[in-house]
Structure 1
């Protein structure tokens, strides 16, 4: 359809595996996960790394929220350089892998520290591999985010989750009224499906947190702050959808989820970078975020967030986000 936003989903699909089949075996300290707090796709990887307790074996670099057409950059770090990789822009790691790399420079990306080359930016596979290939280095009590018995259902639900993850962008970047209206209808069909599903169950699949929840949460966390207005997804706010709002608060208040969210960086990225959508670059002061810590009542639906496992400990000091009371 004319004016439809189409995401380039051609990523570097090299995998880091226990057996090293692609030339990159799992090794503590060898790789660096690069994220941006602003990016929902990168948010997934940050959550999984936290839940599984991989902080000591997989270091994490954090790019700033604003980038130009070249690349995400490390402007939050002293001297504007990642302290481990020694680079100013993530683009440099992609060009070490392929000097003529033709596609977008995206996060999350995992970089091989010894060579400085990006290994992969395949965001969907990254979290799955952290869950299934890095098991020897999971913390004691780490949850099983992708149980074998639930994988088919997780995959099925994940298709609908992607309809939300990508659907908000299809609304926001549509360049014709027809394309926008179709994207809008498809998005709300998906959101209504999740609203209905979550009325009677605490989590998306089974009775514990899984990969499916990790994939949906980042989009919901950004919905009222960005997608509702900036991307014209404005039938309702998240806070007006009882099951989804309670579900998102439940996860936000669960260690490993809300402690990866920086609302300030999220808003700065979308409203400053997307000048086609927001030419002024003005970043809104709202919405009020105090409601994120209100009781959600989801415990009455049963379920155990970590199954037979335990919550992760607090994030490392260098990776802590602003307290919710100071966010906006």
Structure 2
């Protein structure tokens, strides 16, 4: 287990190995996930956990929508962080994968948690990382994080200048155009017969775009976001699946947002988006 530089983002990074020699290895009910319902990375883990049918193998504890500890963390996680790293520089934040045998945290690093859920724990669900799809999944993750979420956030900032805002919107809509075309004739974004990690990533990104970013865009841009029929039909179709929709807590998203910011008109939770 290691800590990354606090200057970037402090993460506790342990891994689940393949056997007892690794220290952490897959044992039913040894580990526990702590997830916050309004956190997009927690939502990605929750959907992955459900798709893999890990409910009996890896229990989940849901945290409050609004962090309740100093620095934006959770009081329930403080003992785990203190036992793992007494001088941990960040808040007691979710998500957390903990080890019940040691009372310590295995990992807070989302890409590792997602990978280990799929590869080490498996389950009765679909193969979320099919062999040969690694590059496609990675490229889709980059497009979601950088071109969609990153640029939607830039475009929605009041202090963003016109040129920066226009560039951000151009990149955002180019990414949405690409996905709209990619989904033609496809049920899932990589074209297979079952959802993969790419679908989980894209769906969570669309949830964030609809519930958090869209209300902060100007009227024209917000209206343009809705003009992607294949993309939003895809998002609603996935939301209708229990593994996805059961974890979509719009009230929690609104509660977390309003706990941090004043509630101007058009802020999250005040208007109907594509997902309800």
**TM superposition score category, shorter chain reference:** 0.7 to 0.9
Conserved? CA contact 1:40–1:218, under 8 Å: yes
Give the CA deviation at 1:156. Answer: 2.3
CA RMSD of aligned residues (A): 2.9
Conserved? CA contact 1:228–1:234, under 8 Å: no
Give the CA deviation at 1:102. Answer: 1.3
Q: What is aligned with 1:296?
A: none
Give the CA deviation at 1:175. Answer: 5.1
Give the CA deviation at 1:15. Answer: 0.8
Q: Residue deviations 1:94-123, cap 9 Å, x none?
A: 222111111344322111123332211111
4+ runs deviating over 6 angstroms: 231-234, 279-283
Measure the CA separation in 2 of the matches of 1:113 and 1:54. Answer: 16
Three-state SS of the structure 2 residue aligned to 1:89 is: helix
Give the CA deviation at 1:205. Answer: 1.0
Q: What is aligned with 1:78?
A: none
**TM-score with structure 2 setting the length:** 0.83
Equivalent residue pairs, number: 265
Give unmatched runs, 5+ long, in structure 1. 1-6, 74-87, 293-327
110-119 or 124-133: which moved more?
110-119
Q: Residue deviations 1:234-261, cap 9 Å, x none?
A: 6135543211111101111122001111
Measure the CA separation in 2 of the matches of 1:169 and 1:91. Answer: 30
More helix, by proportion: 2
Give unmatched runs, 5+ long, in structure 2. 1-6
Q: What is aligned with 1:152?
A: 135
Give the CA deviation at 1:180. Answer: 4.7
Distance 1:201 1:284, change over 3 A: closer
Q: What is aligned with 1:42?
A: 42
Q: What is aligned with 1:310?
A: none
Measure the CA separation in 2 of the matches of 1:69 and 1:167. Answer: 30
Conserved? CA contact 2:83–2:104, under 8 Å: yes
Distance 1:118 1:71, change over 3 A: farther
Conserved? CA contact 1:267–1:284, under 8 Å: yes
Alignment of 1:59-78 (within 5 A): 59-67=59-67, 69-73=70-74
